[in-house]
Structure 1
Amino acid sequence: MTGSNRFAERLTSENAVFASIDHQTGLLVGCRDIDPTVLKSNILGLAHLARILDLPTVVTSSVATGPNGPVMPEISDTLPDARFIGRDGEINAWDSPEFKRAIEETGRKKIIMAGIVTDVCLMFPAISAVAEGYDVYAVIDASGTWDAAIRDAAVHRMSQAGVKVATWASVLAEIMGDWRSPKGRELGELMSSRLTSYGWVVDGFTAHGAS
């Protein structure tokens, strides 16, 4: 997959793997570029998306016994069948042989990736994976960092390297493709429950007796 085709080919539930990078409780506390409550909801929306679609999933942590803390328990609860990988040294998850092997073993070349913090835990493996031929979707609203300036710098650097910067709702819509798809209703309900503004749209629709 080269040239413009790499940017045009759509995500599907058959060609993608989800990588949750260092969504740890200690790191979550320090995120200030997005409201922490909204960030947590977006992270869990992405996790539920992976579960609904039965995407191969890899979840990592970095020095979980230190100040970074453990992986958010809601992620473990939502994705009990994910492959969990703890790193004790490597800052860039792509430098972890176990993480890289877990991605390779899925046989999939599109990686839906999110992480805390955006400018390290997400950016470094996203750029590294692209350099090795993977098509990475960096889900920016399910990632967080210290402030907006740092986030924007990370977005620019990832974009320059060929990483696709996305949102969790756009990933959901791209994979769903059609409201009439087998998972359309379930995915629509997920979007309604996690995106307040879309929930209001649905509430208004159902209030008028539609179903």
Structure 2
Amino acid sequence: MSPPAYKRLDRDNCVFLFVDHQSGLVQLVRDFDPNEFHTNVLGLAKVAAYFKAPAILTTSFETGPNGPIVKELPEMLPNAPLIRRPGQINAMDNEDFANAVKATGKKQVIISGVLTEVCVAFPALSLIEQGYDVFVVTDASGTFKEHTREAAHKRMVQAGCQLLNWAAVGAELHRDWRRDIEGFGAIWNDYVPGYRCLTQSYMATKDTSK
């Protein structure tokens, strides 16, 4: 029996979906510290912008308590369409959203959202069914509790989704630091606090060695 193929992310064949990162819904996220979650989502958005990959934003029933999309996402991804679903819970049940995904021509879908077991899992499962390769960004997706997150992850993995954090998404797309050390490193400096400290220590050591 052959080992499973390594389906690695391809910068030329991926689309980023940000599903229901809304001002009301993010208040329900309890499996991450609020500041940590905010940083993770923006780190992922920065990765999408850095690689100039197509991105699609969507909200669900934003005129109700779910609220509007968090303002930083359309600011960081100004070319991404924002599809306001009037009520469909599964984003793929919305014709405009499903058509927008199809129109990108990409077969790899990088998805994140709130809540993990609903707004991420439902479209992820629909996308798998339609033949897409789906990569779920675990730390840019949030929900009520760790145990509900784990149940959602198991359900998606069983269907064929891959789980990554936002930093792994960036690294797998970049492949080689030598492509752009400063530009790619800047993302880590800005959104991985420990890496900023590492860089500062490295630069200080480098300066004193001259």
Give TM-score, length-normalised by structure 2. Answer: 0.94
Equivalenced residues, count: 205
Task: Give the C-alpha shift of residue 184 in structure 1.
Answer: 4.0
* SS of corresponding position for 1:171: helix
Distance 2:129 2:184 in 1: 32
- Segments of 4+ in structure 1 off by > 3 A? none
The equivalent of 2:123 in structure 1 is 125
- Is the counterpart of residue 197 in structure 1 residue 194 in structure 2? yes
Q: CA RMSD in A?
A: 1.2
Task: Give the C-alpha shift of residue 4 in structure 1.
Answer: 3.2
1:107-118 correspondence to structure 2 within 5 Å: 107-118=105-116
The equivalent of 1:148 in structure 2 is 146
Instruction: Tell me which amino acid in the other structure corresponds to 2:96.
Output: E
Distance 2:4 2:82 in 1: 34
Task: Give the C-alpha shift of residue 202 in structure 1.
Answer: 1.2
* SS of corresponding position for 2:120: helix
Larger Cα Rg: Structure 1 or Structure 2?
2
Question: Contact 1:42–1:142 (CA<8 Å) still a contact in 2?
Answer: yes
Q: What are the ranges of 5 or more consecutive residues in structure 1 without an aligned counterpart?
A: none
Deviations 1:54-83 (A, max 9, x none): 111100000111111100000011011101
* SS of corresponding position for 1:180: helix
Instruction: Tell me which amino acid in the other structure corresponds to 1:4.
Output: P
1:5-154 correspondence to structure 2 within 5 Å: 5=5, 8-154=6-152
* SS of corresponding position for 2:143: coil
Distance 2:73 2:63 in 1: 17
Question: Contact 1:61–1:71 (CA<8 Å) still a contact in 2?
Answer: yes
Task: Give the C-alpha shift of residue 119 in structure 1.
Answer: 0.7
Give TM-score, length-normalised by structure 1. Answer: 0.94
- Aligned-residue sequence identity (percent) comes to 40
Question: Contact 1:176–1:184 (CA<8 Å) still a contact in 2?
Answer: no
Instruction: Tell me which amino acid in the other structure corresponds to 2:74.
Output: S
Task: Give the C-alpha shift of residue 160 in structure 1.
Answer: 0.7
Q: 1:209 aligns with which of 182, 206, 209?
A: 206
* SS of corresponding position for 1:136: strand
Q: What are the ranges of 5 or more consecutive residues in structure 2 without an aligned counterpart?
A: none
* SS of corresponding position for 2:106: coil
Distance 1:186 1:107 in 2: 27
